Structure 1
């Protein structure tokens, strides 16, 4: 990493310490909608200003900025000192248990991630043309920060495939996990997508949609100036209910949604269900440049199949209408498979100063990767898409 000698890497305790345009020149370069809304200055700052991260949350900002002589910024990195392993979706609880028995305290650890957001994206955010130099400098900064503070290790979660390949070459441990994504094969309509499915799956989805849409109300999609405080008030109740059941305590504060309304409403697609004048369920999505990124769902009334409709089918419809390449519907969930969401690999990078522990983790990761590859192959074979001439014949006679 000798090329990094002339680069100054500084640590920021808050995104307030850097101008939005300076950060976004690395995080969201180019014109138009950012490829990844979650690494933008406005999203990460919303987490901080709302108190969703910061003191008392276990997520302490330690963002990195890499500058060449003359103060030209060539790279930035969302980074946190973590006091627990919650809100990451790449599970390392067994690592923590083993480390604390064999070595010492696993926490704090250093984590490059978007809090509470299991969406793949760049983590070493480089100004175009400076990718390799910036990555090397930012990684060196991460390692120095870990060692100086005697933290257990560094974790870069939901990184890009390119970063994974680079990380492996420079000696980081790589971890493979999986999610379920819907891919747009150039469909002109939802019916066009259904035509690509087997007859049985096609009929099942039509029945689910009919059942969901007969819940006795209306479904609306809201973005930009159509969003009003009443929608966020309702969605906050939905989110609290889901958060309490899944995590015990919701990760995001009510103020976070006010920040989103102020600075990111054009990046949002909020799908809401209303019955008898009352909002009863909703699903929150964010737009990327080429994808619709599903984040949260909740309800105050239970209606058959409404979850599938708001979270999955409405998202597919929106992606087709807008010509988006894919829908990412969050972490986990084998039930997504029957609804056209196929398994894909996701990646993370890890580094531990303790050599013995690092070697043990490396052995585990090799076995885990082989298992994940096999799972993806098997699960894909169970996907809903047509595979043979019988399906084509069924399509013709349906």
Structure 2
């Protein structure tokens, strides 16, 4: 009665069928986002991402699915296992290829074992077992499920996967009526600091334009792509995304795409790309071609907070890393991943490593919480 089908490309299933398993607050799991990555050739075997998506049927009705890739490297994941690969290969093993259940290039928490509203725990467990069986069938070293939701993470561990934690920085909307109401909840020193930063950007003559849906045009994507290429070249060494991807994103997921542009004398000088779910604004990429003091903070953080307040969103997720986000109202939040390892000896070594890693993460989050800007 239960059947699991493997897809070599996301276009092998219709958007409506896939999306019935995707939550309203998860734009990155949607067919439109995944297909934009594949159709632009950003995700393909030549880039080290071979689609292996799984779909679970019960009496020919879709009940669950997962984005799954066979990978030949560890780029674009944000849960780092380079040291694992090096250690295993030094011991004579072969770490790559591996299976990765994730949204490519996207360190955003979401449902990885995606299921329809009427799906049962049995459906989810069957899908998870199918992922593990696929790893065994391919005779590969490991399977990695990254940026999973907490409830999934608890279930996954029951099936022998090793738990791992990390943290990011998120802003939570406490029902603020406007930005000043948010500032009123901060300590006096932090409140003054943010006002000083925003004033500096205003006095530099910077204005902001927020675009989405039909207001997104080729000229806007051309400008933002320059920003993306500049930032990715300086931070990562090579860009993951090409220009075609942004066109497809605007066409397929335009209503969820929020592009914040900074203008100086009617010239676009910086921009930040966000995606919007039903409750959350997800900050993804930023870049600039002209340097103005505090422009990054204003474009990425303060404009995002204002947008969330105006549109009644519950939170802003500002992406991976960046302790400087704390003093701007973004507090550390735990993230979760789980890992299946074929080699028993390697698994034993990772158990010790991950136990220590989780304790370090807990201590770091405790220390970071002491720097909260809130009263």
> Shared topology, TM-score over 0.5?
yes
Counterpart-to-counterpart distance in 1, 2:43 and 2:111: 20
* Residue of structure 1 equivalent to 2:269: 280
* Residue of structure 1 equivalent to 2:226: 237
Change (3 A) 1:103 1:68: farther
Counterpart-to-counterpart distance in 2, 1:261 and 1:122: 23
* Residue of structure 2 equivalent to 1:366: 355
- Provide Cα deviations, 1:218-251, integer angstroms capped at 9, x if missing partner: 1111112221111101000000001111111110
1:71-86 matches, within 5 Å, as: 71-86=60-75
On the 8 A contact 1:283/1:311 being kept in 2, the answer is: yes
Counterpart-to-counterpart distance in 2, 1:241 and 1:134: 44
- Equivalent position SS for 1:375: helix
Deviation at 1:364, TM superposition (A): 0.9
Counterpart-to-counterpart distance in 1, 2:106 and 2:288: 20
Match of 1:58 among 27, 48, 51: 48
Change (3 A) 1:125 1:152: same
* Residue of structure 2 equivalent to 1:25: 20
- Provide Cα deviations, 1:93-127, integer angstroms capped at 9, x if missing partner: 11111111124121110000000110000000111
| CA RMSD, 1 decimal | 1.0
Counterpart-to-counterpart distance in 2, 1:373 and 1:165: 17
* Residue of structure 2 equivalent to 1:14: 9
- Provide Cα deviations, 1:186-230, integer angstroms capped at 9, x if missing partner: 111110010111110000000011112222231111112221111
Counterpart-to-counterpart distance in 2, 1:217 and 1:136: 52
Match of 1:223 among 196, 212, 221: 212
- Equivalent position SS for 1:122: coil
Match of 2:29 among 36, 39, 42: 39
Counterpart-to-counterpart distance in 2, 1:73 and 1:376: 39
Deviation at 1:277, TM superposition (A): 2.8
- Provide Cα deviations, 1:39-82, integer angstroms capped at 9, x if missing partner: 0011100000011100311111110011123x111111000011
Counterpart-to-counterpart distance in 2, 1:240 and 1:132: 43
On the 8 A contact 1:217/1:275 being kept in 2, the answer is: yes
1:168-247 matches, within 5 Å, as: 168-247=157-236
Counterpart-to-counterpart distance in 1, 2:29 and 2:90: 35
- Equivalent position SS for 1:238: helix
- Provide Cα deviations, 1:148-200, integer angstroms capped at 9, x if missing partner: 11111000000000001111222211101000000111111110010111110
Match of 1:381 among 345, 370, 375: 370
* Residue of structure 1 equivalent to 2:156: 167
Deviation at 1:284, TM superposition (A): 0.4
TM-score, structure 1 length as denominator?
0.92
On the 8 A contact 1:124/1:134 being kept in 2, the answer is: no
* Aligned pairs, number: 375
Match of 2:104 among 92, 115, 119: 115
**1:139 maps to 2:128:** yes
TM-score, structure 2 length as denominator?
0.98
Mean Cα deviation higher: 329-338 or 222-231: 222-231
1:308-323 matches, within 5 Å, as: 308-323=297-312
* Residue of structure 1 equivalent to 2:252: 263
Deviation at 1:129, TM superposition (A): 2.4
Q: Give the 4+ runs in structure 1 shifted more than 6 A.
A: none
Counterpart-to-counterpart distance in 1, 2:172 and 2:280: 9
Unaligned 5+ runs, structure 2:
none
1:286-325 matches, within 5 Å, as: 286-325=275-314
* Residue of structure 1 equivalent to 2:146: 157
Counterpart-to-counterpart distance in 1, 2:227 and 2:10: 29
- Equivalent position SS for 2:203: coil
Counterpart-to-counterpart distance in 1, 2:364 and 2:159: 28
Mean Cα deviation higher: 310-319 or 140-149: 140-149
- Equivalent position SS for 1:11: strand
Change (3 A) 1:103 1:150: farther
Counterpart-to-counterpart distance in 2, 1:55 and 1:368: 32
